Amino acid sequence: MAKRNEADYYEYFCKSAKYAHRAAKYLDGLLRNYKKEELYNQTQEMRQLEHEADAVRHEMIAVLAKEFLPPIEREDIVALAQELDNVVDMVDEVVQFLYMYDVDEIRLDALVFSELIIRCTDALHEAVSEFRNFRKSRSLKDLLIMVNTLESEGDALYAKSIRALFQERADAMTILTWTKLFDAFEDCLDACEDTVDIIESVIMKNS
């Protein structure tokens, strides 16, 4: 717990990680019940979620600007806040691309990706929740490894998905659209991994 009049940055981190997981679940629901005609409204709903996540980051940075002695280095707080926000931004980008490219139907690999992103953001939220106790937590290391493992699964899925497009001799527009989308799916997982890299760096600095 933060002391009286001290900002609880770990709670801010948890809020941001929760937004990342909410965004992942929203994306998964959208894909599994895909209705092209609803995409515009869904982009607006996702953008609202992204704005709410932004607000958490802005509030945290505003508080940090007035903080005399934060619990970890300022640049680490800023970097972690930004990277957590990036996860939501990347999920938002997937939804925006679906709308921009006027996608007619969802490929099976996209559903596998969304499942991975849900699992990864769930592990990330658990890891961030444990981060407060990083000096004595018994589960944090395993949670960080889990995020890295899921990101690696995403790398393998990306290669498989792109290969499938060419094996199917898909038309140029389909290849362009889905390459861009698979890039965006992978970016979601990369942002999760970048977040845990920062957490690992903080742990090393304070060990």
DSSP string, 85-152: HHHHHHHHHHHHHHHHTT--S--HHHHHHHHHHHHHHHHHHHHHHHHTTTTT-SSHHHHHHHHHHHHH
13-65 per-position pLDDT tens digit: 999 999 999 999 999 999 999 999 999 999 999 999 999 999 999 999 999 99
Residue 175 above 80 pLDDT? yes
Token output for 144? 């960080």
Average the pLDDT over 135-140 and give the result.
91
Q: What is the pLDDT of residue 147?
A: 98
Instruction: Please report, as a single letter, which amino acid is at residue 52.
Output: E
Q: Are 51 and 92 in contact (CB under 8 A)?
A: no
What pLDDT is stored for residue 68 in this prediction? 84
Assess whether pLDDT exceeds 80 at residue 97: yes
Q: Domains in the chain, start-ordered, CATH in brackets?
A: 9-205 (1.20.58.220)
Give the per-residue pLDDT at 6.
60
- Tell me which range, 35-44, 62-71, 127-136, is most confidently predicted by mean pLDDT: 35-44
